[in-house]
Amino acid sequence: MGLAGLSEFVQVFVLVVFRLGGMMLFAPFFGSAKVPNRVKVLITLVLAAGMCPGVKAPPGLDHLTMWQLTVGIAGELIFGFAMGMVLSLVFIAAQWAGELIGQQMGFNMSEVFDPQFGQAGSLVGDMYFMLTLVIFLMMHGHYAILHSVRASFDALPLLSVGMNKPLFGLLMGLFTSCTTLAIQLAGPMIVTMLIVDLALGAISKTMPQINVMTAGLTMRSLVGLVVLIVGISLTATVLQSSIQTTNSIADKQWSTPAMRPAQ
Domain count, the chain: 1
Burial class for 231, CB neighbours closer than 10 Å (0-12, 13-18, 19+): middle
Domain residue limits at 109: 3-258
Helical pair 141-155 and 212-254, crossing angle rounded to 10 deg: 40
Considering only residues 215 and 139, tell me which one the structure prediction assigns the higher pLDDT: 139
- Which is it for strands 119-122 and 111-114: parallel, antiparallel or unpaired? antiparallel
98 inside domain = yes
pLDDT digits (tens, 9 = 90+) for 226-261: 888 888 888 888 888 888 887 777 777 665 544 443
CB 120 within 8 Å of CB 208: no
Assess if residue 35 is contained within a domain: yes
* Amino acid (1-letter code) at residue 60: G
> Do the domain assignments include residue 181?
yes
Q: Dump pLDDT digits (tens) for 43-87.
A: 888 888 888 888 787 777 677 777 877 888 888 888 888 788 877
- Residue 47's nearest CA partner among 145, 142, 146, 136 is 146
Of the candidates 168, 183, 189, which has an alpha carbon nearest to the alpha carbon of residue 107?
189
Residue 263 is assigned to a structural domain of this protein: no
In a domain? residue 33: yes
